[in-house]
Chain A
Amino acid sequence: MEHRVYSLPKKRMGELFGLISSSRQLFLPMEKGGQFQFSRVDEHTDLEGVSLDRLLTAGSAKELFFPQTQQIAAFRRRGKEIELTSAETLTSAFVAFGVRACDARSLEVLDRAFLGTPRDTMYEEKRSKGTVVTLACNEPEETCFCSVFSIDAASPKGDVETWIAGDTLYWRPGSEKGAELTQELDALLDPCSEEEPEGLIQLKQQIRSIIGKLPLGRLSLEQFRPEALQELFDDPAWQKLSEPCIGCGTCTFVCPTCQCFDIRDFDTGEGVQRFRCWDSCMYSDFTTMAHGNPRTSQVERFRQRFMHKLVYYPANHDGLYSCAGCGRCVSKCPNSMNMVKVMKTLGGAQHV
């Protein structure tokens, strides 16, 4: 279904945020302690902190659908009885505004993991209540490589797609959910007469021309096929690639597609609070079972992460890669090892 384009003067975006947050929770990329994060805004929030110019938030939009920590249940001992309370709370309808194309694609990756069989009800709840409003990337960074995964940052798929072209915000619903939100904002959004306004066409061209010049835009995926699984697994290059890895979880926690979690009990003194939290395949106790840990060395853990993104996941999901080229691992790894270096080395090029 083709939806029409709406426009709003950029200077009235504050009103738009006000109207959205009057009926739903609204999350925007905001500066907090010098870092950019998706944060909840309401009528008391100073919109000065909203940052739509900065390309990426430190953590991804994944956090809104799959938070780092989620309470599951609480157990409390009362004499000989154990009282059990479900901690699952219902999510209010919310809007994530300013989601970049890479983060939006990542939700598709998470959907396949969480909404298959068995269904993850906690994720499903958040996913069904959340409306994703994407924002085109006017100024991509040198760390970006989303185009490698056929993601178009000039036209970012979402429930609503938006663009900021000069003084105008363009708005186009991309799903039923997005159309519903658009209706609620009827008082502000102005339908454009053209199918695609001139300003929008120009902006898209401009973005695509920058994407064409990105230094990491031509990485090859050719080598990363399910048939090459064994060959890639056995590649001696993993040893050298994993040398700088210190086994922290930074890459996994800033990654928009990393989806592994652990379930833990927090001792409250009178019982336990059971919660789930992100886990990292880089950690020594990841997937530890009764017999011990299946991956005892850092090189195995390191290989697992990249094989999962580039080979195992696409093999199981119709060729969809579990990387969206957001570049967070490129800019955040303490020792500058990342997806790009792995792809260059295993794809046949030395990673200099």
Chain B
Amino acid sequence: MHNSSCTVKETARKILESGQAERLLGWEQDSSGYNHAPAVFKSAGELDRFIYDRFCGSNLSKLLARLREAEGRTAVLLKACDRESFNLLVREHRIDPEQVHRVDIECSGMVDIEKLRNKGIKGIREITESGDELHISTLYGEKRCRSEEVLLEKCLSCPAVSSADAFDAVGQMEERSSLERYEFWKEALSTCIRCNACRNSCPVCTCEQCIFDNPRSGTAGKASADFFEDQHFHLVRVFHAAGRCTDCGECTRVCPQGIPLYLLNRKVIKDINELYGELSLEDKELGKGALTSFSFQDAHPDIIRKRTGDQ
């Protein structure tokens, strides 16, 4: 990771020095050693604050979409998980590829600081890496931890990092009865605080005004009057993202309440894969997605009843 970190910074420097881009979207180092924020760098001189390490989990493509009005080209660093959402945003005309200098960067998995804390590690001062182990210097002594144990959820099914099947958990959920699933989600979504972090960090959510922010929609909600509204919010979001969600994992990474939102998205992706063929956004034209085109070979709507087995 360390080598790759230096290489990325060097690449960033060359891009800004050569004028290949007016600005570069990357991450800015924080003194905590892990709380790095996405940032725009306008000159090579600003790069002393640049960082690329195990704590750059955020997907920069959403922020890139916000910079589309900016003059000149913007360089953006894309990890494997961020590339599909970049492609989606290009396909949906939220990003003009002519205005972007795209740099694909290597990643060996990003650390979830919450998972470190859940291991009882407190008062983190410094985190260094040696082999597959993290050495954490804390206010309460030195701690060690295998990095693979504390990766972000999205990294656990990334082919570059892990051999696990992204859909295992969805499969397990499908085996439960509809009542059990309902109870599971009722419990999980009851902690939702409607902060909209999932929506606002989602590369798919680029509507000028979201229906949940529109006071005339009748569905605008800052909080829920009852459980139905939490469900409503999350299910509408999942269906709106159906066929477009690239499983970049941002919603799960940012949820302050730790709600496993990836399960909802992956269920839809799994179904689309099974019913319409593997979801890929790379080559498809706008309007040719699984749910935005029609053919007589498409699954009949009653497939839902057949597949769930619930009457």
Interface pair A336/B36, CB less than 8 Å apart: yes
**Which of A58, A215, A246 is the one whose CB lies under 8 Å from B257?**
A58
Kindly list chain B residues whose C-beta atoms are within 8 Å of the C-beta of A140: 123, 139
A284 at the interface (CB under 8 A from B): yes
* A35 with B213, Cβ < 8 A, contacts A142-B32, A244-B37 known: no
Kindly list chain A residues whose C-beta atoms are within 8 Å of the C-beta of B39: 243-244
A216 and B8 CA atoms in complex are apart in Å by: 29
A264 at the interface (CB under 8 A from B): yes
Interface pair A336/B258, CB less than 8 Å apart: no
**Which of A55, A247, A277, A337 is the one whose CB lies under 8 Å from B37?**
A337
B61 at the interface (CB under 8 A from A): no
B103 at the interface (CB under 8 A from A): no
**Which of B123, B125, B225, B250 is the one whose CB lies under 8 Å from A266?**
B225
Kindly list chain A residues whose C-beta atoms are within 8 Å of the C-beta of B76: none
* A69 with B35, Cβ < 8 A, contacts A35-B258, A142-B139, A352-B29 known: no
B42 to chain A: closest CB distance in Å? 10
A225 and B259 CA atoms in complex are apart in Å by: 40
Summed over the interface, the residue pairs from A and B with CB atoms below 8 Å come to a total of 152
A336 and B32 CA atoms in complex are apart in Å by: 11
Interface pair B62/A246, CB less than 8 Å apart: yes
Interface pair A277/B223, CB less than 8 Å apart: yes
Interface pair A253/B199, CB less than 8 Å apart: no
Encoded as 1 (CB less than 8 Å from any B CB) or 0, chain A from 264 to 278 comes to 101100000101011
Interface pair A285/B215, CB less than 8 Å apart: yes
A68 and B223 CA atoms in complex are apart in Å by: 7
B29 to chain A: closest CB distance in Å? 6
A143 and B213 CA atoms in complex are apart in Å by: 32
A330 at the interface (CB under 8 A from B): yes
Encoded as 1 (CB less than 8 Å from any B CB) or 0, chain A from 240 to 261 comes to 0001101111101110000000
Kindly list chain B residues whose C-beta atoms are within 8 Å of the C-beta of A332: 256
B145 at the interface (CB under 8 A from A): no
A21 at the interface (CB under 8 A from B): no
Minimum CB distance partner of B58 in chain A: A335
* A250 with B225, Cβ < 8 A, contacts A244-B63, A284-B213, A335-B38 known: no
Q: What is the interface of chain A mostly: helix, strand, loop, or mixed?
A: loop
B192 to chain A: closest CB distance in Å? 10
B30 at the interface (CB under 8 A from A): yes
Encoded as 1 (CB less than 8 Å from any A CB) or 0, chain B from 76 to 118 comes to 0000000000000000000000000000000000000110001
Kindly list chain A residues whose C-beta atoms are within 8 Å of the C-beta of B225: 69, 264, 266, 273, 275
Interface pair B125/A142, CB less than 8 Å apart: yes
What's the interface size class on B, roughly? 35 or more
A254 and B196 CA atoms in complex are apart in Å by: 13
Minimum CB distance partner of B48 in chain A: A352
* A336 with B125, Cβ < 8 A, contacts A32-B191, A331-B113 known: no
Interface pair B37/A278, CB less than 8 Å apart: no
B199 to chain A: closest CB distance in Å? 7
B43 at the interface (CB under 8 A from A): no
A152 at the interface (CB under 8 A from B): no
Minimum CB distance partner of A268 in chain B: B225
Q: What is the interface of chain B mostly: helix, strand, loop, or mixed?
A: loop
Encoded as 1 (CB less than 8 Å from any A CB) or 0, chain B from 244 to 268 comes to 0000001001101111000000000
B140 at the interface (CB under 8 A from A): yes
Kindly list chain B residues whose C-beta atoms are within 8 Å of the C-beta of A139: 122-123, 139-140
Kindly list chain B residues whose C-beta atoms are within 8 Å of the C-beta of A69: 223-225
**Which of B28, B197, B221 is the one whose CB lies under 8 Å from A334?**
B197
A277 and B229 CA atoms in complex are apart in Å by: 13
B177 to chain A: closest CB distance in Å? 20
Kindly list chain A residues whose C-beta atoms are within 8 Å of the C-beta of B229: 266
A350 and B62 CA atoms in complex are apart in Å by: 26
B304 at the interface (CB under 8 A from A): no
Residue of B31, B114, B191, B258 with most partner-chain A CB within 10 A = B31
A210 and B38 CA atoms in complex are apart in Å by: 31
B220 to chain A: closest CB distance in Å? 7
B173-216, CB < 8 A from A: 187-188, 191, 193-197, 199-201, 209, 213, 215
Given contacts A34-B258, A248-B196, A275-B225, 12 further A-B contacts (CB under 8 A): A33-B187, A58-B256, A69-B223, A253-B256, A266-B229, A283-B196, A285-B220, A330-B35, A336-B58, A351-B30, A352-B30, A352-B49
29 pairs, CB–CB < 8 Å, chain A vs chain B: A58-B256, A68-B194, A69-B223, A139-B140, A141-B122, A210-B123, A215-B125, A243-B39, A243-B63, A246-B201, A247-B200, A248-B199, A248-B201, A249-B197, A249-B222, A253-B195, A264-B221, A266-B225, A275-B223, A278-B193, A278-B222, A284-B213, A332-B256, A334-B197, A334-B254, A335-B58, A335-B201, A352-B29, A352-B49
Q: Which residues of A contact B (CB under 8 A)?
A: 32-35, 37, 53, 55, 58-59, 68-69, 139-143, 210, 213-215, 243-244, 246-250, 252-254, 262, 264, 266-267, 273, 275, 277-280, 283-285, 288, 330-332, 334-338, 341, 350-352
